[in-house]
Amino acid sequence: MSGSAPRPKPAARRELLAWYRAHRRDLPWRRSRDPYAIWISEAMLQQTRVETVIPYWERFLARFPDIEALATADTDAVLSAWSGLGYYSRARNLQRAARQLMERHDGALPRDPAALRELPGVGRYTAGALASIAFDAPEPVLDGNVTRVLTRWLGIEEEVPRPAVQERLWAEAGALVRGASPGDLNQALMELGATVCTPRAPRCDACPWRRRCRARAAGTAESLPRKTPKRAPRAVEAVAGWLERRGRALVVQRPADGLLAGLWELPGGALRPGEAPEDALRRHFAEGLGLALPCAEALGSVEHLFSHRRLRLHVFRCKPVAGRLRRRGWPAHRWVSPADFDDLAQGGPTRKVRERVAERARRP
């Protein structure tokens, strides 16, 4: 895979830019020249569909309109605004980076890609996207969409995680981005992968590179790129209990590190091998809260898929319990009204549990 640097491809570049300007989607961040707004969009678009991101991006900017507002905000407020997007480390890194920008860069994003990559959560891709789209720098990007487009266009049959393949793809992206409108060029590559050169059933007849694409010529487009097979997600079972006192529900905060760090959830935890869900609930309430549950009503279960585990969460409505709460293992707890519950920074499993509890409450 090694060799001389890729040659510039001016004709392919012109074709791609012409296609993009004729067919690009009208996305709100594409109407902005504000580097901060572009940065927020790039962070949200990682691992998340465009249709999901649009309302979150608009609400986030309305609540935190600039770097200073984000840097000085309460972290719970930032996580709450992010709630539902998943991968919450992105939100924490945004705020950490905003604080670093206030301390070292006078509250502005630097133009230098190397300086951008010093920010928490900003890797090679995000630095390239920001530098090219916000500052017109000829910096390449390589995400899933761009990888798919380039792999098919060049007819690369090797598995894309291989370092030599990654090196070649970055070099090819770098050769393409050199020239006028580097930000548009990078967005064109991403747009082509998102709307035409899709993972399944690519619309090759609509592609501006259909005559240049080696995979199309070989009939292998849908089989590329080749990836290392993923492990099946590990099955995990856990319990969660809805406990009310005087119309308020008990919620606990997860530790600052690990999965769903810092988010709020209902008390509970993982089952031990062979343990019945209700026994696990009583154990977690006793060990983590110092409360002895008299009994609990089973409300069924909800499922949630993480990247590396499949969670089945058994849901219970707990009967009122006397005694003083003595918290262990969770850094904080609150008693919140059902309305306030929805404003908490919470993960997908907790939102599903809340919906299950509300659904049961509506039944006659």
CA angle at 144 for the pair 135 and 84, rounded to the nearest 5°:
85
Report if residue 229 sits inside a domain.
Answer: no
Catalytic residue, candidates 15, 42, 172, 265:
42
CA angle at 29 for the pair 72 and 89, rounded to the nearest 5°:
45
Last residue of a domain, which of 196, 223, 250? 223
pLDDT at residue 2 tops 70: no
CA angle at 167 for the pair 163 and 173, rounded to the nearest 5°:
145
The residues pairing with 237 across neighbouring beta strands, listed in sequence order, are: 312
| Among 247-251, 282-286, 355-359, the least confident range | 355-359
> What is the pTM (predicted TM-score) of this model?
0.82
Report if residue 3 sits inside a domain.
Answer: no
d(CA 92, CA 360): 34
**Phi, psi values for residue 200, rounded to 5°:** -120, 145
pLDDT at residue 3 tops 60: no
Q: Does the annotation mark 359 as catalytic? A: no
Last residue of a domain, which of 195, 223, 251? 223
**Phi, psi values for residue 307, rounded to 5°:** -65, -25
Q: Are residues 209 and 99 in the same domain?
A: yes
- What is the structure's pLDDT at 321? 83
pLDDT in tens, 166-188: 999 999 999 999 999 999 999 99
- What is the structure's pLDDT at 199? 96
Contact residues for 350 (Cβ-Cβ < 8 A; gap 6+): 240, 263, 264, 265, 266
pLDDT at residue 1 tops 60: no
Q: Are residues 257 and 212 in the same domain?
A: no
CB 80 within 8 A of CB 345: yes
CB 317 within 8 A of CB 297: yes
pLDDT at residue 88 tops 80: yes
d(CA 251, CA 181): 50
- What is the structure's pLDDT at 364? 63
Q: Are residues 192 and 303 in the same domain?
A: no
pLDDT average, residue stretch 215-227: 95
Q: Are residues 269 and 192 in the same domain?
A: no
pLDDT average, residue stretch 159-166: 96
Last residue of a domain, which of 203, 223, 243? 223
Report if residue 2 sits inside a domain.
Answer: no
Q: Are residues 176 and 56 in the same domain?
A: yes
Q: Are residues 207 and 238 in the same domain?
A: no
Range of the domain at 311: 234-362
pLDDT in tens, 292-327: 988 889 999 999 998 889 999 999 999 888 788 999
Report if residue 353 sits inside a domain.
Answer: yes
Q: Are residues 117 and 242 in the same domain?
A: no
Mean of per-residue pLDDT scores for the chain: 93
CATH number of the domain that residue 293 is part of? 3.90.79.10
Q: Are residues 275 and 194 in the same domain?
A: no
- Tally of domains within the chain: 2
Q: Are residues 199 and 251 in the same domain?
A: no
Candidates 132, 130, 173; CA nearest to 42 is 130
pLDDT in tens, 92-135: 999 999 999 999 999 999 999 999 999 999 999 999 999 999 99
Residue bearing the bigger pLDDT, 228 or 220:
220
**Phi, psi values for residue 238, rounded to 5°:** -150, 175
Q: Are residues 71 and 171 in the same domain?
A: yes
CATH number of the domain that residue 56 is part of? 1.10.340.30
Q: Are residues 183 and 245 in the same domain?
A: no
Q: Are residues 208 and 280 in the same domain?
A: no
The residues pairing with 304 across neighbouring beta strands, listed in sequence order, are: 311
Report if residue 129 sits inside a domain.
Answer: yes
pLDDT in tens, 16-40: 999 999 999 999 999 999 999 999 9
Termini Cα distance of the chain = 67
